[in-house]
C-alpha cells in the first residue's frame, strides 16, 4: 500500500548488518532492473524474506527463502 503523497526514494545497492536484531538487509538490483530487499537472520522464524519491487518502486511480490542466501557477504 502506497502512502498518500508518495515521493521517490533512491537506495543504493548495499549490505546492512543490524547488530541489534541480528538481521542482514541486502538491497540489490536484478539484471532486469528490479529492486530487491532481502532480510536474512536467525530471528526470522519461517526463513529469510525477499521483497521484489518493480521499476516504479512499487512492491510486486514477497517470498520466503528457506535456504541460505547466496548474496550473504563473508
* Radius of gyration in angstroms for the set of CA atoms belonging to the chain, rounded to a whole number: 13
Average pLDDT, stretch 48-74?
78
> Is 58 within 8 Å of 51 (Cβ atoms)?
no
pLDDT digits (tens, 9 = 90+) for 10-28: 899 999 999 999 999 999 9
| Dihedral over Cα of 68, 20, 50, 27: its sign | negative
pLDDT at residue number 68: 57
pLDDT of 72 strictly over 80: no
Model pTM score? 0.80
Question: For 31-48, how does the pLDDT look when each residue is reduced to its tens digit (9 = 90+)?
Answer: 988 899 999 998 988 889
Segments making up each domain of the chain, as ranges: 14-61
Amino acid at each position: 500500500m502506497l502512502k498518500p503523497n508518495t515521493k521517490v526514494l533512491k537506495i543504493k545497492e548495499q549490505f546492512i548488518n543490524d547488530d541489534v536484531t541480528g538481521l542482514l538487509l541486502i538491497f540489490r538490483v536484478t539484471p532486469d532492473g528490479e529492486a530487491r530487499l532481502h532480510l536474512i537472520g536467525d530471528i526470522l522464524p519461517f526463513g529469510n524474506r525477499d521483497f521484489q519491487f518493480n521499476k516504479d518502486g512499487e512492491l510486486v511480490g514477497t517470498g520466503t527463502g528457506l535456504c541460505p542466501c547466496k548474496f550473504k557477504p563473508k
